[in-house]
């Protein structure tokens, strides 16, 4: 059985780290380089950096390379990846994995190519969901464009493409610190054997355990570190005391 991972997530805008609420009104909370150094010192299991404007402004390759040079843990980079060349440059910059959102929806053939070249373990698919009266609808381009595919269709496609993992983000819960959308996590977990990273809404240590119980293999969070000031050490210790098998 794989050990559960606790993954700090950083939203990048320019050279700053920002936090949004339901994907709206991102507020600057600090410098990206400083944040990477802090999580490196705290020995995070992994670090996830998502550039929320890269899909329209392009990928900041030089900045990614600088950030990667201070990331002494596995590093996942996402935002704006739309070609094989983009992926190559990000890996060459020091990333261990790439997280892909838009291209998965509009160009699944690219995902197939990336898996064939870099391996399943290096490809993470990021899916952003909002709850509607029709069930969960998926969005891309930082939540601005609705996918034509259902949750079930997206999960099936990801499995067929043999990607390494799914980053499941709740737009509704993003930034509220009221807990993950555990019903969403459970619904995805019921339909796939792919590892699931829960994201969006964490505000307390109990939220981590709730997401794991719902089916998450890893939990990604930002606000609990930035606004609450909770430490990775405390989170790990509390979850281990509750019997969870952490990395």
DSSP annotation of 2: P
Residue 216's pLDDT is: 98
Among candidates 128, 237, 236, 124, which has minimal Cα distance to 175?
128
Cα distances (Å, whole numbers) of residue 58 to 5, 51, 61? 30, 9, 9
Digit-by-digit pLDDT tens for the chain (247 residues) are 578 999 999 999 999 999 999 999 999 999 999 999 999 998 899 999 999 999 999 999 999 999 999 999 999 999 999 999 999 999 999 999 999 999 999 999 999 999 999 999 999 999 999 999 999 999 999 999 999 999 999 999 999 999 999 999 999 999 999 999 999 999 999 999 999 999 999 999 999 999 999 999 999 999 898 877 778 989 999 999 999 999 8
CA distance 2 to 96: 19
- pTM equals 0.96
Torsion of CA 173, 216, 43, 93, to 10 degrees: -80
For the question of residue 128 being annotated catalytic, the response is: yes
Judge contact between 235 and 205, C-beta under 8 A. Answer: yes
Q: Out of 86, 128, 174, 217, which one is annotated catalytic?
A: 128
3-state SS, residue 195: coil
């Amino acid at each position: 059985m794989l050990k559960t991972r606790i993954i700090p997530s950083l939203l990048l805008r320019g050279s700053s780290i920002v936090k949004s609420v339901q994907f709206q009104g991102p507020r600057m909370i600090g410098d990206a380089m400083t944040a990477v150094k802090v999580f490196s010192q705290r020995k995070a299991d992994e670090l996830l950096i998502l550039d929320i404007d890269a899909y329209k402004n392009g990928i900041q390759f030089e900045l990614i390379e600088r950030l990667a040079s201070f990331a002494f843990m596995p590093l996942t980079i996402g935002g704006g990846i739309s070609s094989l060349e983009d992926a190559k440059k990000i890996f060459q910059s020091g990333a261990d994995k790439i997280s892909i959102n838009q291209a998965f929806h509009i160009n699944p053939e690219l995902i197939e190519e990336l898996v064939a070249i870099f391996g399943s373990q290096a490809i993470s698919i990021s899916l952003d969901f909002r709850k509607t009266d029709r069930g969960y609808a998926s969005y891309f381009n930082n939540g601005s464009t609705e996918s034509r595919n259902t949750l079930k269709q997206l999960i099936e496609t990801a499995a067929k493409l043999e990607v390494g993992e799914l980053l499941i983000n709740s737009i509704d819960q993003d930034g509220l610190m009221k807990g993950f959308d555990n019903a969403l996590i459970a619904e995805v977990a019921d339909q796939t054997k792919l590892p699931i990273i829960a994201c969006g809404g964490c505000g307390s240590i109990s939220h981590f355990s709730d997401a794991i119980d719902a089916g998450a293999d890893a939990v990604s969070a930002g606000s609990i570190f930035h606004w609450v000031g909770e430490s990775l050490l405390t989170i790990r210790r509390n979850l281990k005391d509750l019997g969870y098998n952490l990395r």
